[in-house]
Amino acid sequence: MKGTVVLVIALLLTAPLVTAKIENLQITVYPDGYALVNETVSTNSTAAVVDLLGTHVEGLIVTDAAGNPVPYQLNNTKLIAFPNSTTITVSYYTPDLTIKNGPIWTFRITAPRQFTLILPENAVVVGISSVPLEVKNNKLILPLGKQNVSYVLQIASQRKTSEKKITMGISEPGKNYIPLAVGGTSAVILAFAIATTRKRKKEIPEDWLLKVSEKYNLNQEEIRALHYLLQHEGRARQSEIREALGIPKTTAWRMFQRLEKLGLVRIKKVGRENWVEITP
């Protein structure tokens, strides 16, 4: 680690800074408003400058063409990378590209180039500033420049319970669970799941999950994670919850960070593992 820091400092002092050229830009927006930015950039310099699209950046990863980590220095919204190849990939999460007003979400960006925007699967576009170059389901290809895309998230339609078993907690291996959204008939299903919660470490009101889901507009994964904790005495290993819910590591990390900021859970380091505990 010390050697890497020394190398970065040496490169900062000696390498010419050149703004990298963005070859490909893809942004995936999640139901909670966070966006995953993936940029592929090219440079012919040993020190490449990449302008990040958000002030608040989480889970930043910089790799070369072979997938190896690339040393970098972060200065506000500017990333200075020191690649050993002509192409690097920059990936990170940011909440700065979306804003919510009532039920309407708006994605806003001044795009440095043509880019691909992937909206949540249940998103319905209600306003857009430019005509997309291409549209395929929830994927839009938009031109460079200032872009605004407004959308609402539809409530998942109720499915036939006679054909599939509703599962709020863990989906069994090889089986699908029915995703739920808070509101309407699905709120009744959510209330049923809360009522069936047996194990509790603390005295938690039976309608607690329903109330916080509506108050904070929790997404499906967050509801399932909290329900899992309620079923396990309010406390479980972060890796255990992630594996039980079948979600990627980066998605789980981002989800628990948001739940902790909302004051719904507390994350504690115990040994080499993170534990998550409900804090109602």
Measured in whole angstroms, how far is the alpha carbon of residue 120 from the centre of its chain? 11
Say if 140 falls within a structural domain.
yes
User: Is 252 part of a structural domain of the chain?
Assistant: yes
Please check the confidence at residue 7 and state whether its pLDDT lies above 70: no
Average pLDDT (112-123) is: 93
As for how many domains the chain has, the answer is: 2
160 part of a folded domain:
no
Report the CATH number that the domain containing residue 264 is assigned in CATH: 1.10.10.10
Residues 145 and 192 in one domain: no
- CA–CA distance, 43 with 8 (Å, rounded to integer): 17
CATH number of the domain that residue 31 is part of = 2.60.40
Helical H segments across the chain, by residue range: 2-14, 185-195, 208-215, 220-231, 238-245, 249-261
Is residue 129 included in any domain, yes or no? yes
pLDDT level of residue 264 (50, 70, 90 thresholds):
very high
233 and 124 in a single domain? The answer is no
Q: Say what the pLDDT of residue 280 is.
A: 66
Q: Are residues 253 and 201 in the same domain?
A: yes
| C-alpha 249: how far from chain center | 11
- Across the range 111-117, mean pLDDT stands at 94
pLDDT of residue 17: 62
pLDDT: which is higher, 64 or 280: 64
Evaluate whether residue 159 is within a structural domain.
no
Task: Give dist(CA 132, CA 118) in Å, integer.
Answer: 12
Q: Is pLDDT at 273 greater than 50 in this prediction?
A: yes
User: Counting Cβ atoms within 10 Å, is residue 276 exposed (0-12), middle (13-18) or buried (19+)?
Assistant: buried
Structure-block tokens of residue 16: 């010419």
254 SS3 class: helix
pLDDT above 90: residue 34? yes
Phi, psi for 195 (deg, rounded to 5): -65, -30
pLDDT (tens digit, 9 = 90+) per residue, 209-255? 888 888 888 888 888 888 888 888 888 999 999 888 888 888 888 89
Residue 91 binned pLDDT confidence (cut-offs 50, 70, 90) = very high
pLDDT at 233: 83
Residue 176 lies in a domain: no
pLDDT confidence band for 156 (50 / 70 / 90)? low
pLDDT of residue 169: 38
Asked if 24 and 134 sit in the same domain, the reply is yes
pLDDT confidence bin for 18, thresholds 50/70/90: low
Boundary residue ending a domain (133, 154, 175): 154
Domain identity same for 199 and 96: no
Residue 214 within any structural domain of the chain: yes
Out of 94-98, 127-131, 171-175, give the one with best mean pLDDT: 94-98
* 133 plus 221 within the same structural domain: no
C-alpha torsion angle, residues 61, 64, 66, 68 (rounded to 10): -50
At residue 117, does pLDDT exceed 60?
A: yes
What pLDDT score does 108 carry? 96
Q: Are residues 220 and 110 in the same domain?
A: no
Residues 131 and 220 in one domain: no
Q: How far is CA 81 from CA 78, 168, 228, 231, in A?
A: 10, 43, 40, 45
Residues 214 and 79 in one domain: no
Q: What is the mean pLDDT of the chain?
A: 78
Owning domain of residue 120 = 1-154
Q: Give the highest mean pLDDT range of 80-84, 86-90, 199-203.
A: 86-90
Give me the helix-helix angle, 249-261 and 220-231, nearest 10°.
Answer: 80
Count the Cβ atoms, other than its own, within 10 Å of residue 150. 18
DSSP 75-104: ETTEEEE--SSSEEEEEEEESTTEEEETTE
**How would residue 172 be classed by pLDDT, with cut points 50, 70 and 90?**
very low
On whether residue 164 sits in a domain, the answer given is no
Average of pLDDT values for 50-54? 91
Q: What is the pLDDT of residue 184?
A: 39
Q: Which residue has the higher pLDDT, 77 or 172?
A: 77
**So what's the pLDDT on residue 8?**
47
3-state helix, strand, coil in the chain (%, to 5): 25, 35, 40
| Residue ending a domain, choose from 108, 138, 154 | 154
Are 115 and 213 contained in the same domain? no
Q: Based on the domain organization, do 143 and 263 belong to the same domain? A: no
pLDDT tens digits along 55-77 = 999 889 998 888 888 898 888 88
18 and 142 part of one domain: yes
Reported confidence tier of residue 173, pLDDT bands at 50, 70, 90: very low
Which of residues 154, 176, 196 is at a domain's end? 154
